[in-house]
Amino acid sequence: METKYVMMDNLGSFGGIDGFLIFPAFEEHKSVVERYGGKGHLLSAGFVRLSYEDGKIVAQCYGNSWSLGVGPRKIDSKIITIFLNNS
């Protein structure tokens, strides 16, 4: 299943934490940010492919968000991978 993500600092709907949201590809990036982002600042957005390798979840971020006009940062894949394996 193809999924999208947004990465923001100060995610308003989740207690003002820095973090990311992963959601189904049929959702538009912009609507997710408007719904859950609060006063957070958008850092990056795009698609994320999740796989399972050597007993760990591995995230690979790619592509751009057309509705927000941004793409992934080089560090996004690493941040998501670390978080998903340590939570």
User: Domain total for the chain?
Assistant: 1
**Overall average pLDDT of the 33-59 stretch:** 91
User: Which residues form the domain of 10?
Assistant: 3-85
pLDDT at 17: 62
pLDDT at 10: 76
Q: Is it the case that residue 11 has pLDDT exceeding 60? A: yes
**Overall average pLDDT of the 22-38 stretch:** 91
Buried/exposed code over 29-61 (b: 16+ C-beta within 10 A; e: otherwise): bbebbeebbeebebbbbbbbeeeeeeeeeebeb
Q: The whole model's pTM is what?
A: 0.88
